[in-house]
């Protein structure tokens, strides 16, 4: 089964929704869900 990961553009849009104080709770829930599916960056260099 393929791993589902939120794309970069969608993650950027979701981040903007979360930072905007004018968006509804439903929008913020959807944005948080999208970001939770974003692939984690590795902290190692």
Residue 1: predicted pLDDT: 63
Question: 33 burial class (0-12, 13-18, 19+ CB within 10 angstroms)?
Answer: exposed
Look-up: residue for tokens 């939770």? 36
Q: In sequence order, what DSSP letters do the residues of 4-19 get, joined into one string?
A: P---HHHHHHHHHHHH
- pLDDT tens sequence for the chain (45 residues): 667 789 999 999 999 999 999 999 999 999 999 999 887 776 665
Prediction pTM value: 0.70
């Amino acid at each position: 089964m393929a791993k589902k990961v939120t794309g970069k553009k969608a993650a950027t849009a979701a981040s903007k929704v979360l930072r905007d104080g004018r968006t509804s709770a439903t929008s913020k829930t959807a944005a948080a869900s999208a970001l939770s599916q974003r692939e984690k960056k590795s902290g190692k260099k």
